[in-house]
Structure formats: C-alpha cells, structure tokens
C-alpha cells in the first residue's frame, strides 16, 4: 500500500503493565512481556517491529515486576524508550494510555501506534505496521485497527470481534452472529479520543465504542499469520508455527 499522505508516527505506546496471570509459572519472576518467545522476550519482537517500521520512540507502561522490564529496556537503543510508570496502581488499557498522553507530549501531539506486548505474527511478504501507517487518514479516522483473520490465527477461540465494511469502517460483533476478524492488538489512535476519558482505571473499549458510534473507527486486514501468545499452550503452538515458516 502506498502512503499517499506521507504520514509517519512520531511514537508508539506499548501496553506492558499487565500481570500475565494466564501464563502461570512463566510470570512468577518476570512480567509477561519478558517471557521468551522464539529466542527473545516478547517485547523485543514488538519493539523490533516498530523500529523496522520507522518508529523512533516508544512509551512503555510498567506495573507488575516493573524493575525487571525497565532493566531490560535500558539495553535497547532503538526505538528510544520512555517509561510510563504505573507502579502506584494498575490503570487498565484506557487509563494507562490516558496517563501516558498526559505525561508525554509526543503522544499528545499527533496520532500514534498502540501495540499490545503479546501480539506477534509471522510477517510473510508484507510489513504490516507499515501497511497500517500507510492506511491512516487522520481527517476521517479516530482509530485504525489491524485485524487478523479469525480462521488463520493462533491462540484465539471465539466469535470474532468486528465486521469489516467495504469502506473500511468497523462494526462490533454481537449476539450469535460470528465475524471473520479479530483485533490483532495493534492500532493507530488519535489522542483526541482521550479528550473525554474518565479519571483512573478504565477500558479503552469505552472510547472505542464512541468512535464506532461516530463512524470513525476503521480497520485493515493483517497479512500473514497472527499469534496471540496469552497462555503457555499458545506460546508452544506459536513457536511451532513460527519454526515451520523459517
């Protein structure tokens, strides 16, 4: 996809403050983003992908086993890392991003990439983050999501998350109807959707629902095979799939 707007995000935010309870014994002495996947911590897969897409700065929020994650991130040079400290209280996805926006002007000035720390994939021939960047249109979008095909994903079971319209707009899956797409854990967010954010901890889904109701939430399909590494079993399966592709 050609980047017709020549837009490039100044920064990304990586959500890395969760407890990782479903990882059980693997997170007793480390936060979930530090769990090894294919030879390196999961968060390094995320940060390497952002750097490869030209993103020069990343804000990473920390809470559980924060010192372990901070010490590791000090060893990185690209992207340049900023720590959003949530040691005082877990703020959920929305509250964590809202705090980071209030503390880091680089997130408040323009749209930025928001990346879960446990979303990894086999890239194939397409750089999916570059494709996401190229598809961004700040005039009509408040949020642009990377969507994975439900039938070709690892570590997911459910009815899907969204229906994708022919114009790229999203509609949430609801009721018994299944949808083909699931949120791949990577999106572009404009900080204006946080202008009405509540105080404290809240889910970012509250703000996404507003963007959906206004027709300002869009999505593009991911190319390759997406893997949600949420449990030890999913971790093993994902590593087997990745090894088979090499």
Residue 1: what pLDDT? Answer: 62
234, 155 contact by CB (below 8 A): yes
| pLDDT per residue as tens digits for the range 28-38 | 999 999 999 98
- Listed as ranges, residues in the chain with pLDDT below 70 are 1-4, 246
Looking at residue 2, its pLDDT comes to 60
Classify burial at 25, counting beta carbons within 10 Å of its beta carbon; exposed 0-12, middle 13-18, buried 19 or more: exposed
Which tokens belong to 46? 């995320």
If you search the block for the tokens 């979303």, which residue do you land on?
A: 119
Scored b (16 or more CB within 10 A) or e, 141-158 reads bbbbbbbbbbeebbbbee
- Give the integer Cα–Cα distance in Å for 84 and 136: 25
Residue 207, CA distances (Å) to 12, 110, 192, 210, 224 in order:
18, 17, 10, 5, 29
Single pTM value for the model: 0.95
What CATH number was assigned to the domain covering residues 11-245?
3.90.550.10
CB 45 within 8 A of CB 38: yes
pLDDT for 212 equals 97
Coil, strand, or helix at residue 180?
Answer: coil
Where are the strands (E) in 2-99, listed by range? 11-15, 36-37, 40-41, 57-62, 80-85
Model pLDDT for residues 128-142, shown as the tens digit of each residue: 999 999 999 999 999
Q: Are 151 and 180 in contact (CB under 8 A)?
A: yes
- Rounded-to-integer distance, Cα 224 and Cα 31, Å: 27
């Amino acid at each position: 996809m050609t980047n017709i707007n020549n837009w490039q995000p100044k920064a990304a935010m990586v959500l890395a403050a969760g407890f990782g309870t479903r990882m059980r014994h693997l997170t007793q002495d480390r936060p979930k983003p530090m769990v090894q996947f294919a030879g390196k911590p999961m968060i390094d897969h995320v940060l390497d992908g952002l750097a490869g897409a030209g993103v020069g700065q990343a804000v990473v929020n920390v809470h559980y086993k924060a010192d372990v994650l901070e010490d590791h991130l000090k060893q990185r040079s690209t992207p340049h890392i900023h720590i959003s400290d949530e040691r005082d209280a877990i703020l959920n996805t929305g509250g964590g991003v809202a705090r980071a926006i209030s503390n880091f002007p680089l997130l408040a000035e323009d749209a930025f990439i928001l990346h879960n720390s446990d979303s990894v994939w086999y890239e194939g021939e397409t750089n999916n983050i570059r494709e996401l960047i190229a598809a961004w249109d700040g005039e009509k979008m408040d949020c642009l999501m990377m969507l994975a095909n439900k039938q070709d994903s690892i570590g997911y079971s459910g009815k899907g998350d969204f229906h994708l319209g022919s114009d790229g707009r999203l509609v949430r899956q609801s009721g018994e109807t299944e949808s083909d797409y699931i949120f791949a854990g990577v999106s572009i967010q404009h900080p204006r959707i946080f202008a009405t954010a509540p105080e404290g901890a809240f889910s970012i889904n509250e703000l996404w629902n507003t963007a959906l109701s206004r027709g300002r939430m869009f999505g593009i399909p991911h190319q390759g095979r997406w893997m949600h590494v949420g449990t030890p079993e999913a971790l093993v399966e994902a590593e087997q799939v990745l090894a088979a592709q090499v």
